[in-house]
Amino acid sequence: MHTHRTSWLAIVLLLLFGAAAALLTACDLDSVQPTPLPETPADTPEPLPDATPIATEPVDGTPPAPSVITMTIWTTEAFSPTQTITSGQILLDQVALFEAAHPDVRLEFIVKKPYGKGGILDFLLTTQAVVPALLPDLVFLDVDELGSAVQAGVAQPLNDLVPPQLTADLYPFAQEAGTFGGQLYALQFQANLDHLAYNTGRLTIPPRSWPGVLSSAGPYIFPAGGQAGLVNDDFFIQYLAVRPWPAPNADEPFLQEDGLTAVLQYYQDGVTRGVFPADVVGYHTTDDCWRDYLAGEAILTHVSAHRYLTDGDQRPGTAMAPIPAINGPGAAISRGWSLALIATEATRQSLAVEFMIQLMSPESVGTWNLAADYLPTRQAALESWDEEDSYTRFADQLLQTARPRPRIVNYTQVAAALQTAVENVITGAATPEEAAAQAIEATQ
């Protein structure tokens, strides 16, 4: 009986202990459940306006790479930095100098055709119309194509960006060539022009005017044949000596019958007297003339400054002089290439203009032109040449009086009509009066 009661008591105690254990276990489980976190908002709030973010470096301790500005320059082979030729090396050194001074800037030169479809001007106008964001910051452009770039609004004015002392140091023709509507739009980088060369063994003193030419012995050759059906600059040298341009009356047409007749009469007289060869219309460039002059087929010839400088070793017994015009030396017609600003954003403009000014420094542009056999457009740049050299002094005289090619609205039409007139007079197909009248009628 006692055994039975003891067993019963043990069972009751065991049940009581089990219930207590279960209750304690439940309390322990509730105590380890994570406390719910508040919901994270979908958008992270912006920092306060005056809060300064704390810069952190990458885990490996390497500082972040600085951003690089790439300045794009459209150019031609002649103005491309390269180690192949001396003038290219000079540009390459200037690029290295600029990038060393601006570690966060890279200059990228993109070479394009100089003219025509796919040429620099064509690309400028097309890119501006379609994807202006791809326009370059700077461009090398023929001075005769500057007007189109300015009219299209793609070239930017430089008046407030270029030091006035630089502009003042440009030869007058270079200032005129880069100026439109009173604003400077480009810095002419190099120049070329034609002048007279003569054989000192057969001619002691060169002629200085038409009477001197017509009374001298020939042959005297010049590119009367024109290029691509257009009259050469050598005709404009003669015509502008007779008929200054721009005319006082802005509405007055470029071609004036009396002046045009006078130049054509000079051409006819030269052929008639045997001074100009009858086949002078077969010469289309001054290089054609220079070739035959070196071969001994002429006593006097027109030659470009570039060719004269390039062939220095091939011209013994040769001296130079201005091209004779109606009453004395004619003003040479300058040609050349310029640097124009395209960038419109302030930072890029500042960098582009700084590089332009560096390239146009007297030492840089003077050294480049000397190496490339072209004439500089800054007076201080020519001073870096050998001042004792006779050609340096002669070039300075030419550059002081040179003029850019006349700006005529219908230039191609006028130049074509003038070339026809020249050929008709020299071949005897028309008198100077008839040819002049026909040229004027063809341009009206």
Give CA–CA dist 339/355, Å, rounded. Answer: 10
Q: Which CATH architecture does the domain made up of 194-331+408-442 adopt?
A: 3-Layer(aba) Sandwich (3.40)
pTM, full prediction: 0.83
Per residue in 300-314, pLDDT (tens digit) is: 999 999 999 999 878
Work out the pLDDT band at 63, boundaries 50, 70, 90. low
Give CA–CA dist 229/90, Å, rounded. Answer: 37
Give CA–CA dist 167/272, Å, rounded. Answer: 47
Helical residues (DSSP H) of 245-340, grouped into ranges: 257-272, 286-294, 305-310
Tokens of 45: 């709030």
Per residue in 171-220, pLDDT (tens digit) is: 999 999 999 999 999 999 999 999 999 999 999 999 999 999 999 989 99
Q: Who's near 150: CB < 8 A, 6+ residues apart?
A: 180, 185
For 415, list phi and psi in degrees, rounded to 5.
-65, -35
How many CB atoms within 10 Å of residue 65? Answer: 6
Angle at alpha carbon of residue 71, lines to 65 and 73, rounded to 5°:
150
Tokens of 273: 């007297």
Give CA–CA dist 196/204, Å, rounded. Answer: 14
Residues composing the chain: 444
Question: What residue segments make up the domains of the chain, in order of their start?
Answer: 69-191+335-403, 194-331+408-442
Question: What is the amino acid identity at position 263?
Answer: V
Mean pLDDT of 217-230: 96
Question: According to CATH, what is the number of the domain 69-191+335-403?
Answer: 3.40.190.10
Query: DSSP letter at 84?
Result: S
Express as a percent the part of the chain with pLDDT over 90.
80
Give CA–CA dist 183/278, Å, rounded. Answer: 46
Same fold, 69-191+335-403 and 194-331+408-442: yes
Collapsing DSSP states into helix, strand and coil, what is residue 302?
strand
Per residue in 10-38, pLDDT (tens digit) is: 433 333 344 334 333 333 333 333 333 33
Per residue in 121-172, pLDDT (tens digit) is: 999 999 999 999 999 999 999 999 999 999 999 999 999 999 999 999 999 9
What b/e string do you get for 204-221 counting C-beta neighbours within 10 Å, with b at 16 or more?
Answer: eebbbebeebbebebbbb
Cα end-to-end span (Å), the chain = 149
For 141, list phi and psi in degrees, rounded to 5.
-140, 140
pLDDT at 312: 80
Considering the chain, what is the average pLDDT of its residues? 88
Give CA–CA dist 362/376, Å, rounded. Answer: 9
Reported in sequence order, the residue ranges of 143-236 that DSSP labels E, i.e. its strands, are 179-180, 183-184, 186-192, 194-199, 220-221
pLDDT at 269: 98
Tokens of 318: 């040769």
254 within 8 A of 441, measured Cβ to Cβ: no
From the number of C-beta atoms within 10 Å of its C-beta (0-12, 13-18, 19+), residue 203 rates as middle
